[in-house]
Each structure stands twice: as C-alpha cells, then as structure tokens.
Amino acid sequence: MPSDTQQRVDRFDSADTSRIIEMAWEDRTPFEAIEALYGLKEKQVVAFMRYQLKARSFRRWRQRVSGRKTKHRQLRPAGVMRAYCPTQYKH
C-alpha cells in the first residue's frame, strides 16, 4: 500500500511536479502560494520535496528556505506584494 506522501506525489503529473519544485526553490514564492495552487501545506511541500529530491539537494533546499522571510507570507515585509522577481519570466 502506498504511503501518504507517495499518494500526494502521484496525483501530480510531471509538469505540476516540476512547477511545485520550481516554486519551492524560488525565494519570493511563499508556501501559501503553493497551497493555493496545488493544495499542499508547508509540511506537505517539505515531504514532497524530500520524496522528489536527492538527499543532498533536499538538505540544501531545507537550509535555504529555513527561516527565510519571503517563504512565509506573514513574515514578509509589507512592500513585497508579488510572488516572483520581475525579471524571472522573460518573454
């Protein structure tokens, strides 16, 4: 029988999985944005990333996002209203 984490992971196609990982790595994308789009709370994103990434990559990601104010909407400075850098998506 699959675990809860595997069941959550399996419900996403490869494009969604890639986008969730990308959003989790982005400094300015709060966990609340991932929850709004994909229904994964912060703890679920952590479990998702642990399942999807290699151990070393997961440790790097956790070190990077732990305590980062921009990853939590409540901790963000009032002036930060967007979820991404204006130069991030070049057309």
**pLDDT single digits (tens) 34-58:** 999 999 999 999 999 999 999 999 9
Looking at per-residue pLDDT, the higher value among 31 and 1 belongs to 31
| Residue 11 in domain | yes
| Residue 91 in domain | no
> Would you place residue 68 in the very low, low, confident or very high pLDDT band (cuts 50, 70, 90)?
confident
| Boundaries of domain holding 68 | 4-75
CA of residue 67 relative to chain centroid, distance: 14
> Would you place residue 1 in the very low, low, confident or very high pLDDT band (cuts 50, 70, 90)?
very low
| Residue 41 in domain | yes
Whether residue 81 contacts residue 31, with contact meaning beta carbons closer than 8 Å, is answered with no
Count structural domains, the chain: 1
| Residue 9 in domain | yes
| Residue 90 in domain | no
| Residue 87 in domain | no
